[in-house]
Structure 1
């Protein structure tokens, strides 16, 4: 179901303009990892999934999307799992930690909200990666954010940064602080790179 939906999305989205993907070789990571992408609309979620094919992403999604039977079924088929964004708590990282330990990819949007501005990042991506001892792959997207942008044929671009690993010589808490700083810098630099690309 995941592959079917994602390849159909690829065909549909490509009708509005083909995506340019940069540095995809950085996705060749053995084992599970967290993919942390900038977030400016709902289209970036779709293009991120398409650009990672044939790899599959397990997305963290707000619990409200699982309230109806059909939506719950659809989200589960697309490998999404619910999280309470108002009261995350320790259980919020239980599912992603299990996925990461099993070698899966967990997709997170660390800005926590759709925005074209740079905002302080939430710590979820770093917390997951730190406790699961997996790297974080920073990703930046620029392009259409909504239906209007799609019909205007705004060109989509996505760039994959270098994986960020937990420092081996530091305690967990300090190591996660280092990862957080590296993630913020990497996402900023990747967005700058995209703006300078044709």
Structure 2
């Protein structure tokens, strides 16, 4: 058993008793091939919650500062996390993310770039649109519907893939692709809240 599987099982045994997690739409995640999971971001627990509910291992970008934290810094690369420098164009992180998708793996991303302070969906950064356009990945929107209250209920909703082909062939901008993805996440939040 690799460390990712072990960590996933461990995190699940801790989180599941604390929060009643209802997962909807798992069949929307393709069983193989590149997938870009795009989720809203309402809490620090979002990455592990998406990680334990996905049937496939997910690679996440994590803020570079976390890799300087003792123990956590050495653990993160072993559970498929890689660093991104926030507030600037981090070419190394962009290349790493695209290579993950080119290898047919799953990349999880929070397009808002940071947690929402009020729980409302913020504006998405153009990076997610860039990944969607520059890869052949299936783009799956995800809505985490909280709030995270001890023994409360959390819904994790995986929506139908966002149609990207027309944007790819029409040479759409990264911003246009991001807006379309954010609209899909917003629709899920409105439908399942």
TM-score (ref. length: structure 1): 0.87
Task: Please state how far the C-alpha of 1:90 moved relative to its aligned partner.
Answer: 2.9
C-alpha contact 2:133 2:167 (8 A) present in aligned 1: no
Aligned position for 2:138: 135
What is the total number of aligned residue pairs between the two structures?
A: 189
How far residue 83 of structure 1 moved from its aligned partner, in angstroms, is: 0.6
Distance 2:129 2:113 in 1: 13
How far the C-alpha of 1:3 sits from its partner, in A, is: 0.6
Write out aligned runs for 1:1-198 (5 A): 1-28=3-30, 30-53=32-55, 55-68=56-69, 70-115=71-116, 116-145=119-148, 149-150=149-150, 153-168=151-166, 171=169, 173-174=171-172, 176-195=174-193
- 2: CA distance between counterparts of 1:118 and 1:17? 21
The answer on whether the counterparts of 2:63 and 2:86 sit within 8 Å (CA) in structure 1 is: yes
1:119 Cα deviation (Å)? 1.4
| Residues 134-169 of structure 1 deviation map (CA, whole Å, 9 limit, x = unaligned) | 221100001244xxx22xx22111111111243257
Deviation at 1:176, TM superposition (A): 4.2
TM-score (norm 2): 0.89
User: Which of structure 1's runs of 4+ aligned residues deviate more than 3 A?
Assistant: 168-173, 175-178
Structure 2 unmatched ranges of 5 or more: none
Q: Deviations over 1:39-82 (max 9, x none)?
A: 001122211111103x1000000110111452221101111000
RMSD over aligned Cα, in angstroms? 1.9
